[in-house]
Amino acid sequence: MLDREGFRPNVGIILLNTHNEVWWGKRVREHSWQFPQGGIKFGETPEQAMFRELEEEVGLKAEHVKIIGRTRDWLRYEVPDRFIKREIRGHYRGQKQIWFLLRMVGRDCDINLRGTDHPEFDAWRWHDYWVPLDVVIEFKREVYQKALQELSRFLTRPPHGNTPRHGARYLRQNHAGRPAGEPQPQEAKPKNE
């Protein structure tokens, strides 16, 4: 579903924890990090699409989050030709997105990257609100900057005494909370009796 200018309607999601850190996901088998996002299906509102994408990509349901705000209008980015399938070149230009800022009211253990047969992310972590845009694919950086700037007006101060915590999380495999890059323990081998 494209608009007259060749942009596909889409939603972007910035998910906050109680420390005002954002959920930052590593794309499957890539070295790029991004926020959850996805297309708006025919007949869906942006809010309905956002909740569907949140569940598909992050495993969170509506009861795990609270909507804090959204962008006033569509934010657009063009996709370079080399990333566009040959059969839609000339018609498809890119994405137009409504961005939502959500506050997580659930727990970290509610997040499940394997909620579908085709996961978008293979790791995640909480990151400072102003994420490093150099790890975002180049053609999306300006939209990320605009979304973060516009939605920053909704940020509140974290409760006193809460200190940020960092560390990557993986596809439900890293339950011990080890920092990113730290090796997993080896499985114990059965002893011969």
* pLDDT, tens digit, 9 for 90 and up, residues 133-192: 998 999 999 999 999 999 999 998 766 555 555 555 544 433 334 334 433 333 333 444
What's the confidence (pLDDT) of residue 178?
Answer: 38
Average pLDDT of 26-37?
93
Q: Give the SS3 label for residue 75.
A: strand
What's the confidence (pLDDT) of residue 100?
Answer: 98
Question: What pTM was estimated for this model as a whole?
Answer: 0.81
Average pLDDT of 24-51?
95
CA of residue 176 relative to chain centroid, distance: 23
What's the confidence (pLDDT) of residue 189?
Answer: 38
Q: Which of 16-20, 67-71, 177-181 has the lowest mean pLDDT?
A: 177-181
Q: Give the SS3 label for residue 151.
A: helix
What's the confidence (pLDDT) of residue 115?
Answer: 87
102 phi, psi to nearest 5 deg = -120, 150
What's the confidence (pLDDT) of residue 159?
Answer: 61
Among 133, 121, 166, smallest CA distance to 30 is for 121
Average pLDDT of 80-90?
86
Rounded to whole angstroms, what are the CA distances from 176 to 6, 22, 112, 114, 132? 46, 21, 16, 18, 26
